[in-house]
Amino acid sequence: MKLLEIGLLVCTAIILYGYVFGYGTRWRNIVLSIIGVVVLLFHIFIEGPRIQSLLLYGIFGVCLVFVVISFVRKTREGERKKWKRVVAGGLGTIALAVTMAVPLYLLPIVTLPEPTGPYEIGVTNFHWVDPDREEVEGVNGNRELMVRIWYPAELTEGGLKAPYAFDPSYTELVSKELPYYYKALLYSVIQTETHSFANVPVADHGAPYPVLILSPGYGNSNFMYTSQAETLASHGYIVCSIEHTYYTGLPTLFPDGRIVYEQIDLEDGRDLDEEITVWVDDVQFVLDQLQKWNESDPQNLLNGRLDMDRVGMLGHSFGGATTAQVMHQDPRIRAGVNMDGFLFGSLIEEGLDYPFMYMSGVEEVSMEGPDGKKVEEAELPEEFREFIADDKRRKEGALKNNGLYVVIENAEHESFSDWMLYSPLLLDRDLPMLDQINKTLLDFFDEHLK
């Protein structure tokens, strides 16, 4: 919880238990209420209101109403019946417990791990339109992408920290048509403080820097890998995270204020081997754009700062499969990492030309029964047996040419992103595991790109 939220909680608790135990005089409660209102206003205008604290605001409002009623009626402590105090104490205690549990445990303030490298970090966003491709089915116009780029930075006077997701002023607009669970997630993460500064110059020392393309998992936005991106940028990489427009659960916000929502559901029976070609084309278009911007950046930010002879790629889930497919087709990617992604796309039979690492939380796909014991393959449905065989065949083919298979023990599918920082309801917060993942990525790219 934030400092002023704690102050409001304290005022609310004193008023509530003053009523329950009979030590709160009318004037004392009025003073506490005035202090609480002042704290609430400072909280709203300085810290910003948070969806996690809605219950706290409600309880304080109820206490405020009863204080005013008590003052107007001039009710004395002795006149309040015992059963009313018992009920108020019981319900109030439960409400306050839930009030603390939501911001402290269920939807805590997201804290990104400290970057471990020597560089300060800058971040900027690019909006690129591919004139040679049409947008996804059902959408008119050419393919549009937002790309978030983290880089080693030279801090300037007055540099401001960049927002984690969107500029907070757009939060209400962006969340307007979202389902409640996505809306709660967005309001939970919107005030996350990053270690990156917006649009500051790229550091001269060490330039040009190796480039890493990052392809998120299906449904994830490009900012949901900030922990990995900041770590890599702090060690001298320029990390370009692609927002695969119309494939994200949270909407994409364009610079002109347009907001576009998910249009393509990969779980509705689509041919994923075919669908992945859109993502592969996205990556190759971004590579082309980076080459152009390295030669002549209209914003004068990336000129000559990108070492396009040292380009790597990392992807998560469907983005991990995209990484392998891009490496199979495009020799510009000199090292790649698939983070727990089934290898959709064309079958790779003879490995890849450049170093490739497959990271996963398990050594092989399997199924457990109700008792937690592994089910023998012969007992599985035929469809699942075919899936396991296909997974094995694809992995063996992609890793054949000295590929590296790394198991991150106890990692779940979304552990390879910022999801583990959001809420224990979604994923266990395991900072040592996140550090291990980030260090494994750094060591791999240091070895093969530096």
79 confidence band (pLDDT: 50, 70, 90):
low
Q: How many domains does the chain have?
A: 2
For 143-176, write each residue's pLDDT tens digit. 999 999 999 999 988 889 999 998 877 877 888 7
Tokens coding 361: 């939380």
pTM of the model: 0.83
CA-closest candidate to residue 203, choices 309, 292, 305, 297: 305
Instruction: Pinpoint the alpha helices (H) of 139-247.
Output: 171-175, 180-189, 226-234
372 confidence band (pLDDT: 50, 70, 90):
low
CA separation, residue 389 to residues 112, 138, 271, 377, 381 (Å)? 38, 35, 18, 10, 13
Mean pLDDT on 198-204? 95
Q: Are residues 92 and 175 in the same domain?
A: no
User: What per-residue confidence (pLDDT) applies to 20?
Assistant: 73
Q: Answer with the one of 52, 75, 106 that is the final residue of a domain.
A: 106
- Which of the residue ranges 80-84, 248-252, 365-369 would you say has the lowest mean pLDDT? 365-369
Q: Are residues 198 and 286 in the same domain?
A: yes
Please report whether residue 113 resides in a domain.
no
Distance of alpha carbon 52 from its chain centroid, rounded? 17
Number of neighbours of residue 175 by Cβ within 10 angstroms: 22
Q: Are residues 63 and 174 in the same domain?
A: no
Q: What is the CA radius of gyration of the chain?
A: 26
CA 177/CA 184 separation, integer angstroms: 12
Nearest 5°: the CA angle 233, 238, 243 is 100
User: What per-residue confidence (pLDDT) applies to 130?
Assistant: 97
CATH number for the domain harbouring residue 330: 3.40.50.1820
Number of neighbours of residue 274 by Cβ within 10 angstroms: 10
Of residues 35 and 102, more confidence is placed in 35
373 confidence band (pLDDT: 50, 70, 90):
low
Q: Answer with the one of 78, 106, 134 that is the final residue of a domain.
A: 106
Phi then psi for residue 257, to 5 deg, are: 95, -5
Show Cβ contacts of residue 372 under 8 Å, excluding neighbours closer than 6 positions: none
Q: Are residues 88 and 167 in the same domain?
A: no
CA 209/CA 202 separation, integer angstroms: 10
For 329-353, write each residue's pLDDT tens digit. 999 999 999 999 999 999 999 999 9
Mean pLDDT on 400-414? 93
Show Cβ contacts of residue 258 under 8 Å, excluding neighbours closer than 6 positions: none
Give residue 198's domain range: 120-449
86 confidence band (pLDDT: 50, 70, 90):
confident
Which three-class secondary structure state does DSSP give residue 313? Answer: strand
pLDDT at 441 over 90: yes
- Which of the residue ranges 110-114, 268-272, 433-437 would you say has the lowest mean pLDDT? 268-272
Mean pLDDT on 202-210? 94
Show Cβ contacts of residue 1 under 8 Å, excluding neighbours closer than 6 positions: 9, 53, 100, 103, 104, 109
Number of neighbours of residue 388 by Cβ within 10 angstroms: 15
For 244-261, write each residue's pLDDT tens digit. 999 998 899 999 989 999
- Which of the residue ranges 83-97, 307-321, 396-410 would you say has the lowest mean pLDDT? 83-97
- Which of the residue ranges 227-241, 360-374, 399-413 would you say has the lowest mean pLDDT? 360-374
